[in-house]
Amino acid sequence: MELIYLKPVFKQMIWGGNRLRTDFGYDIPGDQTGECWAIGAHPNGDCEVAEGTFAGQKLSELWQNHRELFGGFPGDRFPLLIKIIDAKNDLSIQVHPDDAYAKEHENGSLGKMECWYILDAKKDQTIVIGHNAKNHEEVQSMIEGHRWKEFIREVPCRKGDFFQINPGTVHAIKGGTLILETQQNSDITYRVYDYDRLQNGKPRQLHVQQSIDVIRAPFHPEDAETTRTSEKVQDAVIETLVTCARYQVQKTELNGSLTRTWDAPFVNLSVLEGEGTIEGKPVKKGVHLIIPYQYGPVAMRGNMMMITSTPEKA
């Protein structure tokens, strides 16, 4: 059995920058590259297998034709999407629907639960999570009245922080942040407010009614905070960042060697700092791969930080 190395897909965004080149060494399409879709099989960004038996095939094809690699995990599409986000400028204030709303209103799409590990942040960085409206009526009146300063809840954010963003949570990444995002495989975003910016001379589309429909009120700050637990395993510290209804995400700081066997349908693995080897093959920051079902022990060596995720059954 082989590890499945993937080639990322890049997305130009009005708020994007060039750190995916300067920090990660990727060959990006331009200096406004906002997103690296590192492990994903969405029609808007379907990663290709980089090498080995399945070289050149899309992850969606593997999902359709080789479900055994994923432990027979149920579903008509690969469940997760892993991104690196380079926000040079502020992203719009946005919200995602849950599975039920997306299924009904978005052509059977999945909703989006997502989470952010902050890879880097500038001094005095903030991030938008939640809102200050007391109830749903106030959500509507604050949005319709453009009372953004009152409505938006902005909190400090530092390198190493972690946030869980449930469907219905107002959120926005602010300029100066680099993030590893683990999310459901969905591209449904409702834009509430875009700072009145223009793209090619026109404002980007807003989705005010859908946003009002799906924003949950009041916001509970504890919903975005997770209890992080860590344990020392061989030469590594493995920290569980979140376990929720759709995924479990862990961070591994390795300084030396670690041999680990996962009990999961499959594992998404991203190397985000440093370098080393995985199963004897050199890897460094920016490498992404999938460990297939029942691969067995994976031998890792070096000085590197990795984030892994495993799916939870819906």
Catalytically active residues are 191
CA separation for the pair 1, 240 (Å, rounded): 27
| Strands (E) located in 171-235 | 171-172, 177-184, 190-193, 229-233
The letter for the amino acid at 78 is: F
Cα Rg of the chain, angstroms: 19
| Strands (E) located in 225-297 | 229-233, 236-243, 247-260, 267-278, 281-284, 288-291
Give yes or no for a contact between 158 and 176, defined as CB atoms under 8 angstroms apart.
no
What is the DSSP code string of 61-79?
A: HHHHH-GGGGTT--SSS--
CA separation for the pair 148, 66 (Å, rounded): 48
